[in-house]
Amino acid sequence: MKILHLVSTVDPRAGGPVEGVRQSGLAMAALGHSVEVASLDPIDAPYVRDFPLLVHALGPGRGHYGYSADYTPWLRARAADFDAAIVHGLWQYHGFGARRALLDARVPYYVYAHGMLDPWFRRAYPVKHLKKWAYWPWAEYRVLRDAAAVIYTTDEERRLARESFWLYRANERVVPFGASAPPANADALRDAFLRTSPHLRDKRIVLFLGRLHPKKGCDLLIHAFAAHARERPDAHLVMAGPDPSHWQPALHAIAQSHGIAHRISWPGMLQGDLKWGAFHASDVFVLPSHQENFGVAVAEALGCGLPVLVSDKVNVWPDIEADRAGFVAADTVAGTRALFASWRALDDAARDAMRTQARRTFDARFASERMVNALLALLHEHPSRAAAHARGEPSMRAVSARH
């Protein structure tokens, strides 16, 4: 199979969906498929060069919407080379442009919603929601309506998506998301991370890894960590991630108001070995998000045997709770404090058991191979896939587009 991912950007600072495209692409390549990426990035962007898959940069896209005059013509010209298109995310030109290019073609397209229809955005940003309504009926509604399938990563995401806009029609399917297994050399990775941050040696590290964004509940985490820090003198919070909205000064002010600023580190975005080392060096992972359709970092933490403390707005929470791979509570300060209290209440044996269960949960539910197999099965369901299979054609090629 030859696979082409069409994405608006491969900048890792854009969040979990980019990492998901990267990991799924590498997983498919490991299975023997040929994988390439086309994006709306400028050709000279350093992250285009550094992306681990071959990238065709067709941008730069203009403005927040990301319009590129080259995108739709390129897709029309190349459509016959592929068997399927997958649009990742909404609200930018890559989805509408894909529908324009492929609606009358023999190539079906699919849409990964990636949590972007969650009603939390309507409540949190009512003005933006009204702006979305201005082009929902003629753009995104039609993109979803005409897709071969709209893909959700959990049943909870699918249920919530129906609540955002009354004009909604889609062939809904659930395909579990996943993450790559961590490297095997845990001790070496841990030591490498601690060498870069020697002040964290002998600390019980509470790890947050993700964008510093209001939807992630970073402010809740700092308020709640203040109470945890009083109970655990050796606890230290690591807030690892990019800060696209320049929120860190306000978060730092919250920490200062509690007198715990010296017990929080802000290393920025961690990638590669440093990221895995941070997981392995930590005592527990925390994500008190107000909205999270999946959470790649949650899966990666579990893969490292790291228990997770998550809100009930992280849509994989039922799996975490059912498996006892961590704790779940409301996305409030009180709820996040309760997460820490539940973790503190465990004795050493119970914590070790939860660490073992964390890795079991990753293997059973969130390994990337499960996601890839489920996605390929969905693509083969389309009539053009079945016809190709009946003809004995040796490969299926796919285009994928991402926000």
| HEC secondary structure over 77-116 | HHHHHCCEEEEECCCCHHHHHHHHHHCCCCCCEEEECCCC
Question: Residue 270 pLDDT > 90, yes or no?
Answer: yes
Amino acid 24: pLDDT: 81
pLDDT bucket at 397, cuts 50 / 70 / 90? very low
Q: Which CATH number goes with the domain that contains 283?
A: 3.40.50.2000
Look up tokens 């992250």; give the residue: 47
Amino acid 27: pLDDT: 83
pLDDT bucket at 384, cuts 50 / 70 / 90? low
With H, G, I as helix, E, B as strand and everything else as coil, classify residue 323. helix
Domain check: are 130 and 229 in the same one?
no
Q: Which residues contact 4 (CB under 8 A, 6 or more apart)?
A: 35, 36, 37, 38, 78, 82, 397, 398, 399, 400
User: Which tokens is 42 given?
Assistant: 């400028």
Domain check: are 252 and 379 in the same one?
no
Name which of 242, 243, 255, 228 is nearest 338 in CA terms: 228
Most confident of 116-120, 329-333, 398-402: 329-333
DSSP state of 208: E
Question: Residue 104 pLDDT > 70, yes or no?
Answer: yes
Domain check: are 199 and 174 in the same one?
no
Q: Which residues contact 133 (CB under 8 A, 6 or more apart)?
A: 165
Amino acid 399: pLDDT: 52
Amino acid 380: pLDDT: 85
Q: Tell me what the mean pLDDT of segment 54-72 comes to.
A: 90
Name which of 252, 249, 250, 257 is nearest 237 in CA terms: 252
Using CA atoms, how far apart are residues 242 and 213, in angstroms rounded to an integer?
A: 9
Domain check: are 7 and 42 in the same one?
yes
Amino acid 345: pLDDT: 98
Domain check: are 157 and 33 in the same one?
yes
Amino acid 169: pLDDT: 94
Domain check: are 60 and 173 in the same one?
yes
Domain check: are 204 and 266 in the same one?
yes
Domain check: are 252 and 384 in the same one?
no
pLDDT bucket at 290, cuts 50 / 70 / 90? very high
pTM: 0.88
Q: Are 279 and 272 in contact (CB under 8 A)?
A: no
Domains held by the chain: number: 2
Amino acid 39: pLDDT: 84
Query: What does the buried/exposed string (b/e) look like for 298-308 if buried means 16 or more CB atoms within 10 Å of the residue's CB?
Result: bbbbbbbbbbb
Domain check: are 219 and 236 in the same one?
yes
Write out pLDDT tens, residues 9-36.
889 888 777 887 888 888 878 888 777 8
Domain check: are 60 and 16 in the same one?
yes
Q: Are 94 and 137 in contact (CB under 8 A)?
A: no
Average pLDDT, the chain: 90
Owning domain of residue 116:
2-178+367-402
